């Protein structure tokens, strides 16, 4: 077991088992328990047993429930990658400062995937054994090469007649200029649409410049068209937060409410691609992000209490880790790392990466995490130097600092982010933004839950229990 003194009450601790069961205890009780001085017939000892933190005697209990729980929590490992991202074009209409992608001008067709690479990528896709595959199309702007979106989808559907996997298609797009023809095709294959909406019109257009300065208007039109044709639940949106966003958490959430969206993702800027070059202008510290998040969270609670249901997707993910023992579909918060084990990216030029972030690094000239290309069998990707790097640094339970952290059963490793920010896939947690953010958010949610009234507690529990293990649409700036 591991423990962490509560930052808001130093006389108590969060105590967790290796499978992620937990409870809050007085430090005095914890010390008595560790010294074997806690009475075996006390209610607290029974509580510790129920959470697999103690065994009263081998005659009356076994480790089987603990292992079973551990297996459920790591169930995302079974079957290999479920999320397969096809980058069909790097072309994009936008020139966002914080873009993670090496976007290209709209007429640069040499940055589109070729039919040859697309066919090879589909062959590779079916080499993976996972019975449930999420296929996400991404860019740049995938609608600029919709022909290949259709070709790849049709190839996969055709091949799946014999394979009989469960398929889920996602399009990560600005949704600008969606045509009826495209919507018909997306509806036929029950696509989910994932777009980017940064908040009110002034903020979205400032963050996402494009000729005509009408990105917001086009996005809203696209969301509307997508929902009318594919259903309300088929369209989701993500925000990217720049420095100017941090002053207006309420306005961002209210915009989502105005548009009838019931989920928001308040994600911080990523350290890749153009985002790194413009970090001085658009970036902020993790402490500033956490202060923003706290305000946003309070506003979300108020919005829910006013009768409008809306969750924040990362809070829901962390709460699902706290309140359930199931695996989850979010590849960036896994141990072993989700990169390469949970997701694979097939780039427009036939190169293959274990995560979108690895692709961003390659676009910046650093190929440390390139697995190979689509002409090679997946066995050669799995034995690549990049995969060795990921596996060596991808098990949080074995990393310095994480190994002793009480949140580790609920947290992840993300070696590529640590490599990008700190130059080393193992990383240094005391100065890691990834760690500071997750530690800060776990603390915030736990403290908020503990101090909450009944209604707020129920609300937070409901966020945590309605998530499932379907892979999340990738967090990329569309």
- Residues of the shown chain interacting with ligand SF4 in the complex, contacts defined by CB under 6 A: 396, 401-402, 405, 407-408, 411, 429, 434-435, 438-439
Of 140 and 440, the one with the shorter C-beta distance to ligand SF4 is 440
Residue 224 tokens, joined: 């509307």
3: Cβ–Cβ under 8 A, 6 or more apart, which residues?
13, 14, 15, 16, 25, 30, 406
Q: Pick the closer one to ligand SF4 by CB: 345 or 411.
A: 411
Q: Please tell me whether residue 327 adopts helix, strand or coil conformation.
A: coil
Main-chain phi, psi angles of 84, to 5 degrees? -125, 115
Q: Which is nearer to ligand SF4, 324 or 401 (CB)?
A: 401
Q: Minimum Å distance from CB 77 to ligand SF4?
A: 18
The answer to whether the CB of 85 falls within 8 A of the CB of 125 is no
Tokens, residue 301: 């609670």
Min CB(436)–ligand SF4 separation in Å: 8
Q: How far is the CB of 289 from ligand SF4 (least distance, A)?
A: 15
Least separation in angstroms between CB 338 and ligand SF4: 14
**E-assigned strand segments in 68-131:** 83-87
Query: Least distance (Å) from ligand SF4 to the CB of residue 68?
Result: 22
- What sign for the dihedral angle of Cα 23, 26, 27, 30? negative
CA distances in angstroms from 132 to 72, 78, 304, listed in the order given? 17, 11, 33
Q: What is the smallest separation between the CB atom of 473 and ligand SF4, expressed in angstroms?
A: 23
Name the residue nearer to ligand SF4 (CB basis): 23 or 38: 23
**Quick check: bond before 108 cis, omega within 30?**
no
Instruction: Report residue 201 as tokens.
Output: 């019109």
State in angstroms the smallest separation of the CB of 459 from ligand SF4.
24
Cα separation, 306 vs 355, in Å, equals 39
CB atoms within 10 A of CB 260: 12
Of 208 and 429, the one with the shorter C-beta distance to ligand SF4 is 429
- Give CA–CA dist 229/208, Å, rounded: 26
Nearer to ligand SF4 by Cβ, of 54 and 402: the residue is 402
**Rounded to the nearest whole angstrom, what is the least distance from the CB of residue 420 to ligand SF4 in the complex?**
15
Contact predicate 219/175, CB 8 Å: yes
Smallest gap from Cβ 38 to ligand SF4, in A, equals: 26
* Cα 403 to the center of its chain, rounded Å: 22
Sequential DSSP letters for 255-306: HHHHTT--EE-EEPPPSSHHHHHTHHHH---HHHHHHHHHHHHHHHHHHHHT
CA distance to 161, 331, 432, per residue, from 48 (Å): 50, 30, 32
Nearest Cα to 82, choosing from 328, 352, 315? Answer: 328
Distances (CA, A) of 470 to 142, 314, 367: 22, 15, 29
Distance CA 355, CA 347 (A): 11
Q: Which is nearer to ligand SF4, 98 or 434 (CB)?
A: 434
In whole angstroms, how close is the CB of 52 to ligand SF4 at the nearest point?
Answer: 19
Rounded to a whole number of angstroms, the distance between the first and last alpha carbons of the chain is: 41
Is the CB of 319 or the CB of 405 nearer to ligand SF4? 405
Choose between 419 and 434: whose C-beta lies nearer to ligand SF4: 434
Q: Minimum CB separation from ligand SF4 for residue 72, in Å?
A: 19
Choose between 440 and 473: whose C-beta lies nearer to ligand SF4: 440
State in angstroms the smallest separation of the CB of 335 from ligand SF4.
Answer: 8
Residues 133 and 389 sit within 8 Å (Cβ to Cβ): no
Give 282 or 438: the residue with its C-beta nearer to ligand SF4.
Answer: 438
Nearer to ligand SF4, 77 or 155 (CB): 77
Q: What are phi and psi of 2, to 5 degrees?
A: -130, 155
């Amino acid at each position: 077991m591991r423990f962490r003194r509560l930052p808001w009450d130093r006389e108590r601790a969060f105590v967790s088992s290796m499978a992620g069961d937990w409870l809050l205890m007085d430090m005095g009780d914890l010390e008595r328990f560790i010294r074997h001085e806690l009475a075996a017939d006390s209610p607290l000892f029974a509580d510790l047993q129920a959470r697999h933190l103690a065994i009263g005697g081998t005659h009356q209990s076994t480790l089987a429930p603990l292992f079973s729980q551990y297996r459920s929590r790591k169930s995302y490992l079974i079957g290999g990658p479920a999320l397969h991202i096809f980058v069909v074009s790097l072309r994009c209409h936008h020139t966002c400062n914080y873009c993670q992608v090496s976007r290209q001008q709209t007429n640069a067709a040499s940055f589109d995937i070729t039919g040859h690479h697309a066919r090879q990528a589909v062959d590779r896709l079916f080499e993976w054994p996972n019975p449930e595959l999420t296929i996400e199309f991404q860019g740049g702007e995938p609608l600029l090469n919709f022909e290949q979106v259709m070709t790849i989808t049709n190839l996969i559907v055709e091949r799946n007649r014999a394979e009989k996997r469960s398929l889920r298609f996602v399009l990560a797009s600005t949704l600008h200029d969606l045509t009826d023809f495209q919507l018909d095709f997306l509806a036929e294959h029950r696509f989910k649409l994932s777009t980017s909406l940064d908040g009110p019109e002034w903020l979205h257009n400032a963050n996402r410049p494009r000729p005509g300065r009408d990105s917001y208007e086009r996005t809203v039109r696209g969301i509307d068209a997508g929902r009318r044709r594919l259903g309300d639940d088929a369209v989701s949106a993500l925000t990217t937060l720049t420095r100017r966003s941090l002053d207006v958490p309420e306005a961002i959430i209210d915009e989502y409410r105005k548009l009838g969206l019931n989920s928001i993702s308040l994600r911080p800027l990523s350290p890749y691609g153009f985002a790194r070059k413009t970090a001085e202008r658009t970036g902020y510290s993790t402490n500033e992000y956490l202060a923003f998040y706290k305000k946003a969270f309070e506003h979300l609670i108020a919005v829910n209490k006013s009768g409008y249901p809306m969750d924040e997707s990362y809070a829901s993910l962390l709460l699902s880790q706290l309140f359930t023992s199931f695996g989850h579909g979010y590849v960036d918060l896994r141990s072993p790392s989700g990169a390469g084990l949970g997701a694979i990216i097939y780039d427009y030029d036939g190169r293959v990466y274990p995560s979108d972030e690895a692709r961003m690094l390659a676009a910046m000239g650093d190929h440390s995490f390139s697995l190979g290309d689509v002409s090679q069998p997946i066995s050669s990707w799995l034995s690549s130097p990049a995969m060795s790097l990921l596996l060596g640094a991808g098990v949080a339970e074995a990393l310095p600092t994480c190994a002793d952290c009480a949140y580790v059963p609920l947290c992840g490793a993300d070696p590529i982010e640590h490599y990008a920010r700190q130059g080393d896939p193992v990383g240094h947690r005391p100065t890691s933004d990834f760690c500071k953010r997750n530690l800060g958010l776990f603390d915030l949610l736990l403290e908020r839950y503990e101090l909450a009234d009944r209604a707020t507690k129920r609300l937070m529990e409901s966020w945590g229990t309605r998530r499932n293990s379907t892979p999340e649409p990738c967090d990329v700036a569309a």
